[in-house]
Amino acid sequence: MIIDTDSGGDDIHALLTAFDLAAKKNIEIIGITCINGNSQIEDGIKNITIVQKIAGVNIPIYKGCDRNLKQKITLSSKFFGDDGLSGHQEKYLKELNIQQYQLQQQHAVDFLIESALKYKEDLVIICLGALTNVACAMMKTAEFEENIGLVIGLCGNVLGLGFMNDGVAEYNVHTDPEAAHLVFKVLAKKLIVIPYEAVISVSEFTITKVFEQDTTIKGKFVKEIYEGMKTANNRYDIQDPLCILAATMPDIITEFVERPCNVILEGEGRGMVSVKWLDKDPQANQVTFILKVDENQLIQTLHNVVG
């Protein structure tokens, strides 16, 4: 398993969750790749080092693409601050006495390709940010898409909901729609996505429960990460951890649908995914969209992570 992350916020919570579940379920995380998004890659590397130290793990980190085919990537710093940790990065770097970062020489895209050739269908790539690194690997060589097992992404929408582009599009697809277009079209049958609608289907009650366990070190750390989002939105959204749960505990998924879809690239709808509800041809390039998860299991698992 490789985790591709956009460097801050709920990604860090997701990493903490992934470290915990991987240990329990005997899943090997062979690397973490990163791109711009919730923060700059540079801050991402710091944030990943912090969460690794807190979790007591040491997984190689790879730097990924720093732009996309049409535009510079816009950071979503309004949710998790400029540092991607709602302003707590510096404090943790000091507390944990972190002075250097073990960044691999190899580029994330090349690590993805090399891993695809090595692990073949056993390779699962978890994408918590824009799909730029995966798309770039697909461009470099067709062997990548032929060899990998699955891509599981927190991205896109099924009903046109999101918080980008006036509420028309989900953040990770909107950040690099051309990359998403390639992945949703070509990798469809190897692609499982947790769309924005699955994220907001989680009830207020559950979310509140998740953030109650703030007496442990890890629990406090998680709550601090989301401070910026709480201030901006007056609520928490747990996007990326949901993706980790769906990837490592498939039985948590209670509802899903398989449909071909299309990423809108032009005009005011840019970044929206249009789902072809009536095209049920199993031969068609159908993406699997997760719609709901078991909220009791969700609470229990996330509590255990920070317990």
Choice between 120 and 140, CB closer to its own copies: 140
- Residue 268 interacts with its own copies (CB under 8 A)? yes
Q: Are 297 and 249 in contact (CB under 8 A)?
A: yes
CA angle 273, 279, 282 (to 5 degrees): 110
90, 254, 279, 300: residue in contact with its own copies (rule CB under 8 A): 279
**How far is 211 from 206, CA to CA, in rounded Å?**
9
Q: Regarding beta strands 31-34 and 61-63, do their DSSP bridges make them parallel or antiparallel, or are they unpaired?
A: parallel
Q: Considering the complex, state which of residue 27 and residue 159 has its C-beta at the smaller distance from its own copies.
A: 159
Q: Is 5 in the site for its own copies (CB under 8 A)?
A: no
Q: Tell me which of 179, 198, 229, 238 binds its own copies, using CB under 8 A.
A: 179
- Using an 8 Å Cβ cutoff, are 21 and 244 in contact? yes
- Window 16 to 45, contacts with its own copies (CB under 8 A): none
Does 193 help bind its own copies (rule: CB under 8 A)? Answer: no
Kindly tell me the sign of the dihedral angle through the C-alpha atoms of 102, 103, 105, 109.
positive
Number of residues binding to its own copies, judged by CB under 8 A: 45
Choice from 155, 168, 210, 293 touching its own copies (CB under 8 A):
168
Structure tokens at 60: 């190689």
Q: Going residue by residue from 113 to 152, which x/- string records binding to its own copies, judged by CB under 8 A? A: -------------------x--xx-xxxxx----------
- Residue (125 or 302) nearer to its own copies, CB: 125
Rounded CA-CA distance 199/92 in Å is 28
Among 107, 189, 209, 230, binds its own copies (CB under 8 A): 107
Alpha helices in 141-250 (DSSP H): 142-147, 171-175, 177-186, 196-201, 204-210, 217-225, 227-233, 240-248
Binding site for its own copies (CB under 8 A): 65-70, 107, 109-110, 132, 135-136, 138-142, 158-161, 163, 165-168, 178-179, 181-182, 260, 262, 264-269, 272, 274-279
